[in-house]
Amino acid sequence: MAILEVSGVNKTFGGLKALTDVNLTVEENTIHAIIGPNGAGKSTMLNCMMGKLQPDNGVVNFDGTSLLGGITPYQINQLGVCRVFQTPEVFSDMSLLENVMIPSLARHDGAFEFNGWGPVAKRDEVSQDAIQMLAEVGLAEQRNVITGSLSRGDKRRLEMAMCLVQKPKLLLLDEPTAGMSRADTNNTIELLKKIGERDITMIIIEHDMHVVFSLADHISVLAQGTVIVDGKPESIKGDPRVIEAYLGGELG
Ligand code: ADP
Ligand code: MG
């Protein structure tokens, strides 16, 4: 079943056509990679799916709900869509645990209620969830460390925990291994494979073909704002149109 359907999406910036008639179907519980040379329109596409950019026209439906026409990024998040940023966005002067508790609190009904006598309701439940999630990304032992001192790779893992604690249906990742060493990249691949085992759909924008072919169930290739090839990894590998698109631009 399709969880995300994009059809006929166009986006222009002044005179520049960043997206031309983009169609994309993402099946539930799959890892769907969007690849393409620099400037192909990948980030623009992601921003149109997150309510950050409004396309000129077209349809973006998530789980039967339109993500266009005035819906806010907050509302999109409430529907179960979460995004991991290219540069990790974390609260640097807070502990790792606090960083994961904040999005977790937002997910717990009644977590903000005071009863006048006791502590914030569900606080224990929230911190248990947060600790468990930190354990899953391999950061449980550092839960009381101040986040600003973490390596970039660890900040990404933390950001992943901040997303996962919200139990999203759809996780969007913009170049999750950008700037990482080979060892960190391989760790991230293993982590994403583990995450992929739960009820979750992932859309990954990625330059690194090793990452793409290790993870993707389905690949859409964008070039100059259009989807030029769309299919299973086996059928993408060696497709002359893909090779040409990459040779015409930057090798991924
Ligand atoms: P990718 O992520 O595939 O590298 P982008 O989606 O960032 O590509 O960009 C697609 C095209 O749109 C590029 O030519 C880029 O310069 C242009 N573009 C992206 N965002 C803007 C913007 N906010 N204003 C003007 N042009 C933009
Ligand atoms: Mg980009």
Q: Which of 16, 50, 175 to mutate to test the pocket of ligand 1 (most atoms within 8 A of CB)?
A: 16
What's the pLDDT tens digit per position in 7-43? Answer: 999 999 999 999 999 999 999 999 999 999 889 999 9
Indicate if the pLDDT at residue 112 is higher than 60: no
Question: 133-178, pLDDT tens digit by residue?
Answer: 999 999 999 999 999 999 888 898 999 999 999 999 999 999 888 8
Strands 16-27 and 2-13: antiparallel
Domains, the chain, ordered by start: 1-80+169-252 (3.40.50.300), 90-167 (no CATH)
- pLDDT one-digit tens code per residue, 190-211: 999 999 998 999 999 988 888 9
CA distance 139 to 168: 20
pLDDT at 244: 84
Global pTM value: 0.89
For 218-232, what is the mean pLDDT? 95
The answer to whether residue 252 scores a pLDDT higher than 50 is no
Q: Do 241 and 229 touch, CB atoms closer than 8 A?
A: yes
| Residue having the nearest C-alpha atom to atom 14 of ligand 1 | 39
Say if residue 83 is exposed, middle or buried (CB neighbours under 10 Å; 0-12, 13-18, 19+): buried
If one residue of 12, 19, 43, 44 were mutated to test the ligand 1 pocket, choosing by the most ligand atoms within 8 A of its CB, it would be 44
Distances (CA, A) of 187 to 39, 47, 176, 192, 196: 28, 27, 11, 9, 14
Q: Is the CB of 41 under 6 A from ligand 1?
A: yes
